[in-house]
Amino acid sequence: MSTSSTISSIRVSERRGNNGVKALYLARKNPLMVLGIIVVLGWVIVSILAPQLAPFGPLQQNVSNRLQPPGGEHIWGTDELGRDIYSRVLYGGNITIPAGLIVIIIGSLLGTIIGAIAGYAGGVWDETIMRVTELFMAFPTIILAMAVTAALGPDIRNAIIALVVVWWPSYARVVRGLVIKTKHNEYVEAARCIGATESRILWRTVLPNCLAPAIVLATLDVGNAILTFAGLSFLGLGPEPTSPEWGRMVAVGIDYFDQWWTWLFPGMAIATLVLAFNFIGDGLRDIFDPRMR
């Protein structure tokens, strides 16, 4: 290996190391981001270990102990069928957390691809794609999601499909604007001059420089997706009624409002997870956007 290439590799390593140190420093400067990461990791671990941590099964009934207040062997009380709320909340994370993540992953990928094609192609392609995008965005998110879920039928899979349908347009619009701004930069013209194909320029040169805002938006949207999924479940358009999904548990608990433990603990689970993802998103925005520091 030549001396010049060795020096270049050392400089790249130093630059990457400095970026890692800066990211760690900014994360430590933002304690809410650290708190959000801890809360999310905590819920993920608890959900994975639910079979070992839960004292009862999520569907195990004991009608003689129905609507028992917190205490004794039921530390968070029981619901209208005598099911242990603590156990059901732990198992509910296995439904709510993956659902929110799947919605954002698929929705962001789909929206990013569509927005990148529209912004880079321009012309008729751009006009057509953006008019379709604006058509989806003309409806309130929850209303359109309710309509799609009602048409497909109440089910976890259909609720996720409905949320993907209403979530991709925001990413398409953001990425399209970033691609339009980026494709006129000098390094893009340089890539074109050395013979790079338009497809390679889009996916290897332009798009990687547009991903940071989309990543921040995706992190912030995980909490919103979880909240919307819980809202669909609350309205009876999500999992089956016996499912230990948090939104569904809150909906059932509202019928027994005096027994506050039936709705408080699943509601707190939703609130803590949504806030945690919002804290992480705000922290990532500070890291990726120097103007926010």
Residue 143 corresponds to which amino acid? I
The sign of the CA dihedral 107, 110, 113, 114 is negative
- Look at residue 289 in the predicted model and tell me its pLDDT: 63
Strand, helix or coil at 188? helix
Please, which pLDDT band fits residue 272 given cuts at 50, 70 and 90? very high
φ/ψ (deg, to 5) at 47? -65, -40
Are the beta carbons of 277 and 223 closer than 8 angstroms?
A: yes
Residue 182 near residue 209, CB atoms below 8 Å = yes
Instruction: State pLDDT tens for residues 216-228.
Output: 888 888 888 998 8
Exposure string for 236-265, b = 16+ CB within 10 A, e = fewer: ebbbeeebbbbbbbbbbbeeeeebebbbbb
Domains in the chain, ordered, with CATH? 3-292 (1.10.3720.10)
Q: What is the pLDDT of residue 269?
A: 93
pLDDT attached to residue 19:
57
Write down the pTM of the prediction: 0.81
What's the distance, CA 37 to chain centroid? Answer: 14
**pLDDT band, very low/low/confident/very high, at 39 (cuts 50, 70, 90):** very high
Confidence class for position 49, pLDDT limits 50, 70, 90: very high
Identify the pLDDT of residue 23.
57
Higher-pLDDT residue of 85, 243: 85
Looking at the DSSP assignment, which residues form a beta bridge with residue 71?
A: 74
> 10 Å Cβ neighbour count for 69?
12
Segment 170-186 shows an average pLDDT of 87
pLDDT of residue 22: 59
Condensed to tens digits (0 to 9), the pLDDT of residues 196-218 reads 787 888 888 888 888 888 888 88
How far is Cα 224 from Cα 278, in angstroms, rounded to an integer? 9
